[in-house]
Structure 1
Amino acid sequence: MAKQLDYHTLREIFARFQAAEPEPRGELHHVNAFTLVVAVALSAQATDAGVNKATARLFEIADTPEKMLALGVEGVTDHIKTIGLFRNKARNVIKLSQILHDQYGGEVPCSRAALQSLPGVGRKTANVVLNMWWHYPAQAVDTHIFRVGNRSGICPGKDVVATERALEDNIPVDFQHHAHHWLILHGRYTCVARKPKCPACLIRDLCQYEEKTL
């Protein structure tokens, strides 16, 4: 695990990310806060592309908790059976839809605690929704961010919670909103797990990773 980079180095890193991609976007398709919650919950142990393919038709016919409830578990299952753990995920989608209908009038709450109380919604999912929909500077740490953060020294931590805290405590405030998107995309396409593409990396000269590829 690399040492935490200093403030000035972090500013330079995120200035480069910003210059290359001023408005990074999550890759999960959604049309409102509800479909975003469902999409992120479905993305656990599945690719964004796979989730997008599975939800394309689903979100056309069920973009509210009430419409999702009308489909029932079997109806949701039919749409998402191409992604991992689809049976359990279908049950969770129906359960969270019922809670949103019964307790929140069909609206998605904008509180981390309330979001995490929904079946199938963990801290990472809650943070994605808070960031993408309400533009709160929440940091959703996934395997990509955990890997990039520890390799580079941007946000090292022994677990995802420590990495999230390192992001919140050390990333300059003006970069906080988009920080997790830049890092996810960097981990997905450049700083990949098995053979990082160091020669093409925007921050190669600032990264502390000792085993850079040639």
Structure 2
Amino acid sequence: MKKADIFEFYARLAADNPAPETELAYGNHFQLLVAVTLSAQSTDVGVNKATRRLFQEVKTPEQMVALGEAGLKQHIKTIGLFNAKAKNVIALSQRLIAAYHSEVPADRDALETLPGVGRKTANVVMNCAFGAETFAVDTHIFRVGNRTGLAPGKTPLAVEKILDKSTPQPFRLHAHHWLILHGRYTCKARTPECWRCNVVDLCAFRPKTAMPAQKVARQQPGDP
């Protein structure tokens, strides 16, 4: 995608949603870290359901450790890989207490030393908690980057590096949220909804998907 088109691509997404935010629910930096860790291979909706009562009870690493692995499992058993995630969350809580005075470190390398925290999770925390211009490449961003031609790459890290290099100001802070939301609700995995996409003319994807027949049938003459 050409430089001018990249700017226009982000400008249109920004016009539709000037201040995008993560759809994960949390009350502080520790809860954000836990929520993002739990969200691997799970939906934000599913994680929010699991953490609603958990986060009423647990707001600090000390409280998480006191809850224990068995107690945590009872809260998160509805989400995928909950056994491994419970083990990691308890372990990362213990490490935050021992190494970081119970505070979530504002450093990506330090975050990646925590159990269960990979680069994507660290990037999300750095962006949402500390306002860092990071690009957390999940399945949605990987798909959008490749499908549109915005950031074609064979691995999430390759896509991240291209986005980091090509994304201009003033869009860098919110870029990964715009791309996630675009992939989640418009540029969907199975059938992208090109017929209602506001960046369709900038996108390299071919062929464009047309409006479903049932929607065409429901539209009346003179409808937009």
Confirm or deny that 1:118 pairs with 2:103.
Answer: no
15, 38, 44: which one aligns with 1:42: 38
Deviation of the 1:173 alpha carbon:
2.5
Q: Which SS does the other structure have where 1:144 is aligned?
A: helix
Q: Which SS does the other structure have where 2:6 is aligned?
A: helix
131, 138, 144: which one aligns with 2:140: 144
Deviation readout 1:81-137 (Å, 9 max, x if unpaired): 000010111010100000001111100001111100001100000000000110100
Confirm or deny that 1:62 pairs with 2:68.
Answer: no
Confirm or deny that 1:26 pairs with 2:22.
Answer: yes
Q: Which residue of 1 aligns with 2:197?
A: 201
Q: Distance in 2 between matches of 1:91 and 1:183?
A: 31
Q: Which SS does the other structure have where 2:35 is aligned?
A: helix
Confirm or deny that 1:107 pairs with 2:103.
Answer: yes
3, 6, 18: which one aligns with 2:2: 6
Rg comparison, structure with higher value: 2
Task: Give runs of ≥4 in structure 1 deviating > 6 Å.
Answer: none
Q: Distance in 1 between matches of 2:165 and 2:207?
A: 27
Q: Distance in 1 between matches of 2:203 and 2:142?
A: 14
Deviation of the 1:155 alpha carbon:
1.1
Deviation of the 1:156 alpha carbon:
1.1
> TM-score of the superposition, structure 1-length normalised?
0.97
Q: Which residue of 2 aligns with 1:135?
A: 131
Confirm or deny that 1:158 pairs with 2:154.
Answer: yes
Q: Which SS does the other structure have where 1:39 is aligned?
A: helix
Q: Distance in 2 between matches of 1:90 and 1:193?
A: 29
RMSD: 0.6
Q: Which has the higher contact order (CA 8 A, sep 6+)?
A: 1
Q: Distance in 1 between matches of 2:208 and 2:119?
A: 32
